[in-house]
C-alpha cells in the first residue's frame, strides 16, 4: 500500500464557550487579532502564528468539559516573556511557572485563563525526556489538569 503525503495547512481547534461575545473580547486580546468571522453563537479566528483555525461555539455546559488545557510552544524563554508581556499589556492576568518540571520535561511557561476557565500556556521546553523518579509520578502535569494556574479571573 502506498501512502500519499498529506500537506496540512494548520490545526483546527473548536471550543465550547458560554458567551461568544465575552470570549471574543478575551481571544482578541490573547491572539492580538480580530475574528475573521462572527455569527450568532459562533466566531472564528484565523491565527497565523502559530497557524491555527480556532473557533468558538456557544453552548450550555456546567463545567470545563474534557479539555485539559491548550498551549503554544515557543522557541525560547525570551519568547515566553514576550508573550507574557503582550498578554499583560492587553489586560490579561498572567501566571508564570519558570524552571518547572512538567510532563517529564523542564519548562518555562506563562498562563492565561479565558472567561469559561479554559487555560492556555505559552511555554518553552528547556530539557526534555526527563527520567521517571523512583516513587514519584509526574501526574500533576500529565493528568487531566496539566499545571493549571491558580484561581484568578480574566476580562
SS3 at position 132: coil
Quote the cell numbers at residue 137: 509520578
pLDDT score of 65: 56
Largest CA distance in the chain: 53
Quick check: 152 pLDDT over 70? no
The stretch 77-88 carries a mean pLDDT of 95
Which tens digits make up the pLDDT trace of 67-82? 778 999 999 999 999 9
Which tens digits make up the pLDDT trace of 24-51? 999 999 999 999 999 999 999 999 999 9
Query: What's the whole-number average pLDDT of the chain?
Result: 83
Q: Which domains are delineated in the chain?
A: 8-61 (3.10.180.10), 68-147 (3.10.180.10)
Instruction: From 146, 147, 149, 153, select the one nearest 68 (Cα to Cα).
Output: 146
What counts of helices (H) and strands (E) characterise the chain? Answer: 3, 8
Amino acid at each position: 500500500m502506498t501512502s500519499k503525503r498529506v500537506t496540512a495547512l494548520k490545526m483546527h481547534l473548536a471550543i465550547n464557550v458560554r458567551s461568544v461575545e465575552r470570549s471574543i473580547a478575551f481571544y482578541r486580546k490573547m491572539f492580538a487579532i480580530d475574528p475573521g468571522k462572527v455569527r450568532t453563537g459562533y466566531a472564528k479566528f484565523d491565527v497565523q502564528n502559530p497557524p491555527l483555525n480556532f473557533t468558538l461555539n456557544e453552548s450550555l455546559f456546567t463545567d470545563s468539559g474534557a479539555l485539559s488545557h491548550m498551549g503554544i510552544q515557543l522557541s525560547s524563554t525570551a519568547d515566553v516573556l514576550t508573550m507574557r508581556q503582550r498578554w499583560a499589556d492587553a489586560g490579561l492576568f498572567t501566571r508564570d511557572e519558570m524552571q518547572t518540571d512538567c510532563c517529564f520535561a523542564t519548562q518555562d511557561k506563562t498562563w492565561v485563563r479565558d472567561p469559561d476557565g479554559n487555560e492556555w500556556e505559552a511555554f518553552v521546553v528547556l530539557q526534555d525526556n526527563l527520567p521517571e523518579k523512583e516513587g514519584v509520578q509526574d501526574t500533576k502535569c500529565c493528568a487531566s489538569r496539566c499545571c493549571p494556574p491558580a484561581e484568578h479571573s480574566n476580562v
